[in-house]
Amino acid sequence: MNSQDTRKIRLVMLLRNAGITDTSVLAAMERVPRDFFVPAAMADQSYDDIALPIGRGQTISQPLVVATMTEALKLDDRCKVLEVGTGSGYQSCVLAHLCRRVYTIERHKSLLIEALKMFDELKLHNITAIAGDGMKGWPEQAPFDRIIVTAAAQGDPPSALLDQLKIGGIMVVPVATNEHQVLRRYKKEGEDTFAVKDLMGVRFVPLLPNLAAPSEGSDGDINRKLA
């Protein structure tokens, strides 16, 4: 067993001790090589439970946040999932091991190009990705069994995303209220009714509209569980 394998196992044990109980989620986290998705200069931190910058002011999420969001979706191999915010593609790959198909949207074209390379390298063929405005969802592929948003909505999730969720479906999304953010799960019980549960305090980059300009973004944003 090499050092990366040892660090990966240590991370999975940390997630279990932190309360992640879904063995399929833990197995998916173990299968996806997080070191593939981080800058080479930070490879030695790839299995630490921290967020890391990936450029364009974006991050690869803290593993505990990834695991918590994934577990909250209650995925099975029949689920059709929409992900808003592809980023590095790490979360997409974790989802791909747990559901039928992932549709993922990224507003930074340069990040999407790199994520597509990762999907090919890892031979994950059940991910479809586009560059676009994630706040509008993906109407051509709706409705979705599950929706995951990896940037913070202001006040409430975009109505387009709520509309594109199937009745009985689940959406997990960070929501910003004043200066605080909370990770929130919405279960759609009727056309306009939702059961809502707060999961944990988080800090994500803001959910923004439209495609990003090539010059947009600066390093230093974080996406982690709050202490």
User: Which positions are annotated as active-site residues?
Assistant: 61
Q: Where are the alpha helices (DSSP H) in 38-153?
A: 63-73, 90-96, 109-121
Q: Which of 45, 174, 148, 60 is nearest to 111 (CA)?
A: 60
Instruction: Please report which helix (H) or strand (E) contains residue 23, including its range.
Output: helix 23-31
- Residues with Cβ within 8 Å of 4's Cβ and at least 6 positions away in sequence, in order, are 33, 35, 47
Q: Which 3 state secondary structure label does DSSP give 141?
A: helix
Rounded CA separation 86/103 (Å): 9
Q: Which 3 state secondary structure label does DSSP give 25?
A: helix
